[in-house]
Amino acid sequence: MTEHSTPQELRNRLVDRIVKASLPGLYDARVEDAMRTVPRHDFIPQASLELAYANQAVTIKDNPDPDALPLSCASQPDVVFFMLAQLGIQPGNNILEAGAGTGYNAALMRHLTGPTGNVTTLDYHEDVAAHARQRLDATGFSDVRVLTRDGALGAPEYAPFDRLIATVGVWDLPASWWDQLAVGGRLVLPLRWRGLTRSIAFVREADCLRSESLATCGFLPMIGQDGEREGYVDADHLVKLYWDADQPIHALSLRKSLAEAKEHLLWTNVAVAPDEPLDGIWLRLSAVDPATCRITVRPEAFASAAGLHRPAIPALSPALVEGDSVAYLVLEPVDVQGSKRYRLGAAGYGPAGQELAERLGMQLRAWDDDRTLPPSIIAYPAGTPDEKMASGHVIDKPSGRLVITY
């Protein structure tokens, strides 16, 4: 930033970078115009102009627990961009947002709906909603409705909605959203399952929601959804698992297998470039194997010669867990025609460690056949009979059933 840069200049530079790096198929010229027009810095006045126009999230409500995630953040601008592109707002749309945050996203949506549209935004925290209300009023968006309310309840008094967006991580689709989203409407949300999160654009059909696009993202979880579990495997708190409530996983069951560190190492011929993302592997695993979860391993656990094999991403690696056995993604540097690459494989531990490593390896090879192929995700209301759903891997949650297929 130069000394004399104006907010508009900073905003244009940020949007220029976002557009240049935008994801394939997730560009919308009207969203670009909105982000060049609506002043983000006015919604986070506590931040410097440099921070306001950096491509990063900004905390607006800290958590009193210093070891916990913040309670509310202003989302990273490039994520705001592609989620609004996924939402496909049209003039005159009636829109509901779960997670008011700073009010910035609601202002962008109000800009996009034009004079005949409506935007209602909800936030669980009274002070966050009050901040959004004050900032929207101060920036000329006083007709946006701001309600202090659990986002999972929606706003039935203003339904039906043409568009519904969540700016918090959602583990289970709230039943109220099914009732409040019009058939033909669009729902965009950061959906969480098996330890991963994807921003999914769903189109509402009469009896289901069908995915149209997916993008990698990360969001603070929605308050009140208690479907995710976590637990340390070892007494030293070096190895931790994250899984879903419907999975029969017990972290302590792995303690003996990992302590013995009898490893089954399987390498494939699949190789990636140093900067190539691995998230598609995890996504594919979640679509085919019910044992899929997440493992984190602190460096001390693999620092010694007798320690565990280093996971591909120690803080965020996919794993398969069954009973007292586990396998997770690993990599090693290799030279391919003079270029540095990383060969992918699986490290398995426990009585079924070899079998789990082979299952993971099989999905590595399947991913290698088409690394950009997205899955189809169809959501049905809870209680939908199997015979009325598409075929595929089913993940059941209290308010909905997901069918994931490749």
Q: Looking up tokens 């009973």, which residue turns up?
A: 323
Q: Are strands 118-123 and 181-193 parallel, antiparallel or unpaired?
A: unpaired
- Measure the CA–CA gap between 145 and 137, rounded to whole angstroms: 11
- Measure the CA–CA gap between 228 and 224, rounded to whole angstroms: 11
Q: Is 257 a catalytic residue?
A: no
- Least Cα distance to 321 among 346, 345, 278, 290 occurs for 290
> What Rg value do the Cα atoms of the chain yield, rounded?
22
23 burial type by CB count under 10 A (0-12 exposed, 13-18 middle, 19+ buried): middle
Neighbour order of strands in the sheet with 239-244? 228-232, 239-244, 292-297, 317-322, 325-336, 339-349, 263-272
Q: Is 219 helix (H, G, I), strand (E, B) or coil?
A: coil
299 burial type by CB count under 10 A (0-12 exposed, 13-18 middle, 19+ buried): exposed
Among the listed residues 5, 48, 75, 391, the single catalytic one is 75
Note whether 72 and 61 are within 8 A (CB).
yes
Query: Residues with catalytic annotation?
Result: 75
